[in-house]
Amino acid sequence: MQVKGPKSRRWLVKGVLDDGVPNSIFKPGWRFFAAFASLCIISLMAALDATSISVALPVMAKALGGSAIKAFWSGTSFLLASTIFQPILGSFSNIFGRKPLILTSLVFFGVGAIVAALAKDFTMILVGRTLMGVGGGGIMVLNLIVMTDMVPLRERGKWYSMLSSMWAIGTVTGPLLGGGFSENSSWRWIFWINLPFVGVGAVMVMVFLHLNFHASSVFGKLRRVDWLGIGLFLGSTTGFLIPITWGGVQYSWSSWHTLVPIIVSAVGMVAFVVHQECFATEPLIKTSVFKNPTAAITYAGTVIHGIVLWSILYYLPLYYEAAKGFSPILAGVAIFPQTFTIAPASVIAGAAIARSGKYRWAIWLGWTLTTTGTGLLVLLKTSTKTVEWIFITLVAGIGTGLLFPANSIASQASTATGRDQAFAATAFSFLRAFGQTLGVAIGGVIFQNEMKKNLLKYPLLAGNAVEYSKDAAGLVQLIRSLPHGERKHQLQVSYIEALKWIWVVMCVLSAATLFASLFIKAYTLDRMLETDQGFKETQKSSQSDDIELS
């Protein structure tokens, strides 16, 4: 970081100026805030789209004549594409520049939105959602990477937490937006509404996000790309995540359609790691960022965080629909105590980390509250009163919110050099998304097994045990359509008992991660900002605390 003033020109190294002044001079100008606002806008857009389609799928399936499987894949394709392409786009940003890759991601997102909005069948929806997933994944990972270029590590927590709050707000309001459009207007507006975000975000990025980047020839850049690594990574992650996603839905978990690609992809992933470690001159993912014990524990915790968070966000609304008879929109409102606590907890934790320079307390407190909160979810019954479930679901939201900035900062603080922090941000973003994908699948396996056991206990339901246990979301519609009586009551009790075991497993995973986090070491956050693509503050001022990141 370089400090510019009319009478001084000094370098900031490891939190201390060359004359001994402490690191307390990070005071960005309005251009910095405008650039950050552009990142917030596109983050909110990606989050809204990731969740808005879920409640609209039944309406879309009816309008386009799509099957349940097609509807399932149109909802899942975004999450898969956004997960798989994050490390690739993050690596490309090191070679081609952050800003061009952000704009490229916005193009993918915008084109995908247009294709989906104009769709005449579910094939076009699938194509559009996949393109949007590529763009959304790029937006998610590049925003985190750009923060490593723009903000010193000590200050980074509060900025990360604000980006996380955009994601939290979008995740909460997305289903409400999708439900409102599908019921009161047209489901196509779920996609059209993205275009103003794309337009405003692209203009703001082009105008305000000025980053240092040393251009070179296109052919020189292309030679730097790890094409073999990309091929191995794409093939392995796709081959692993797709059967994980369709297991128990399209094919059974014991089917060769599920097992064979998972096994082959595991072998491919081992080959990818060997290639990155031994042969890649400019690796897609730096394996060195995983070798520090603190980093390894943090990354494992990031995957668990994604699993727990997405299990709650996916299955908790189903509790309200099945047990309370809420509509999808009302179920989205009912999870506010859990979801609306994530953003404030994230912002408070990020600010406190920046002020104190310490992050372990947030990790420990976050996992303690997450463990407690998932344990409390076991108490949810058909008879649970409104006041009770509000306070029951509140705790997990606070815990998972604290972990967003804490895990991110811990992973970057444990890197050997400041230049590796961009790779650490890429790994963090990918593993969080990877955990989210696993969360729905793991929850599905638990639900199917427990639901089948529960249904076999009731003579009225035993004959349909296999059929009813296949799809948690589909079974909700059946429960809602049944008249009040013994059959409906037994289905509700069985459903809630199956969900209970999801909460039990999430509680155990959280407790294990809490124990592992006790071994995380404390690293200083007062480190030099090392980057080749830092923010260029062009604001003119006579004040001596104006800054230029380079």
- Note whether 72 and 106 are same-domain residues: yes
Residue 53 lies in domain: 25-223
Look at residue 163 in the predicted model and tell me its pLDDT.
Answer: 86
**Residue 136 counted as domain residue:** yes
Query: Domain count of the chain?
Result: 3
Specify the 3-state DSSP secondary structure of 548. Answer: strand
- Note whether 102 and 57 are same-domain residues: yes
Chosen domain end from 223, 245, 264: 223
Looking only at the bridges linking them, the beta strands covering 9-13 and 16-17 are antiparallel
- Written as one letter, the residue type at 137 is G
Conformational region of residue 245, where left means phi above 0, alpha means psi within -120 to 50, and beta covers everything else:
alpha
- 296 vs 519: CA distance, rounded Å: 11
Vertex 372 angle, CA 404 and 245, to 5°: 60
**Residue 77 counted as domain residue:** yes
- Note whether 33 and 149 are same-domain residues: yes
- Written as one letter, the residue type at 301 is G
Looking only at the bridges linking them, the beta strands covering 16-17 and 547-548 are unpaired
- Note whether 327 and 350 are same-domain residues: yes
- Note whether 33 and 182 are same-domain residues: yes
- Note whether 239 and 380 are same-domain residues: no
- Note whether 419 and 311 are same-domain residues: yes
List helix spans (H) across 377-523. 386-413, 421-455, 465-468, 472-481, 486-517
Vertex 62 angle, CA 57 and 67, to 5°: 75
Per-residue DSSP letters for 146-209? Answer: HHHHHS-HHHHHHHHHHHHHHHHHHHHHHHHHHHHHHHHS-TTHHHHTHHHHHHHHHHHHHHH-
Q: What is the pTM of this model?
A: 0.86
Tell me the per-residue pLDDT of 460-498, one tens digit each, with 9 for 90 and over: 888 887 778 777 777 887 888 888 888 888 889 999 999
- Note whether 421 and 510 are same-domain residues: yes
**Residue 539 counted as domain residue:** no
Per-residue DSSP letters for 292-348? Answer: SHHHHHHHHHHHHHHHHHHHHHHHHHHHHHHHH---HHHHHHHTHHHHTTHHHHHHH
Residues 340 and 472 sit within 8 Å (Cβ to Cβ): no
- Written as one letter, the residue type at 541 is S
- Note whether 197 and 346 are same-domain residues: no
- Phi then psi for 399, rounded to 5 degrees? -65, -50
- Written as one letter, the residue type at 492 is Q
Vertex 276 angle, CA 275 and 277, to 5°: 90
CA nearest 33: which of 540, 535, 369? 535
Look at residue 249 in the predicted model and tell me its pLDDT.
Answer: 67
Query: How does pLDDT run along the chain (550 residues), one tens digit per residue?
Result: 333 333 332 334 333 333 333 444 677 888 889 999 999 999 988 888 877 777 677 678 777 876 667 777 777 788 889 999 999 999 999 899 999 999 999 999 999 999 999 998 888 999 999 999 999 999 999 999 999 888 999 888 888 888 878 877 887 777 778 777 777 778 888 899 999 999 999 999 999 998 888 767 778 888 889 999 999 999 999 999 888 877 766 777 788 888 899 999 999 999 999 999 988 888 888 888 999 999 999 999 999 999 999 899 888 888 998 888 887 778 878 888 887 888 889 989 999 999 999 999 999 999 999 999 999 999 999 889 999 999 999 999 999 999 999 999 999 999 977 778 889 999 999 999 999 888 888 888 888 888 888 888 888 888 887 778 777 777 887 888 888 888 888 889 999 999 999 999 999 999 999 999 999 999 999 888 877 777 776 433 333 333 333 3
Vertex 276 angle, CA 273 and 281, to 5°: 175
**Residue 547 counted as domain residue:** no
CA nearest 86: which of 441, 425, 439, 436? 425
- Written as one letter, the residue type at 97 is G
**Residue 528 counted as domain residue:** no
- Note whether 353 and 264 are same-domain residues: no
- Residue 43 Cα distances to 166, 234, 314, 464, angstroms: 6, 24, 20, 43
Conformational region of residue 313, where left means phi above 0, alpha means psi within -120 to 50, and beta covers everything else:
alpha
Specify the 3-state DSSP secondary structure of 247. Answer: strand
- Note whether 206 and 92 are same-domain residues: yes
**Residue 405 counted as domain residue:** yes
- Note whether 267 and 294 are same-domain residues: no
Residues 296 and 424 sit within 8 Å (Cβ to Cβ): no
Look at residue 21 in the predicted model and tell me its pLDDT.
Answer: 36
**Residue 109 counted as domain residue:** yes
Chosen domain end from 223, 257, 272: 223
Query: In this structure, what CATH number is given to the domain that contains residue 442?
Result: 1.20.1250.20
Residues 266 and 463 sit within 8 Å (Cβ to Cβ): no
**Residue 140 counted as domain residue:** yes
Please identify which residue in the block is written with the tokens 């929806």: 125
Specify the 3-state DSSP secondary structure of 3. Answer: strand
How many residues appear in the chain?
550
- Phi then psi for 28, rounded to 5 degrees? -65, 150
Look at residue 244 in the predicted model and tell me its pLDDT.
Answer: 83
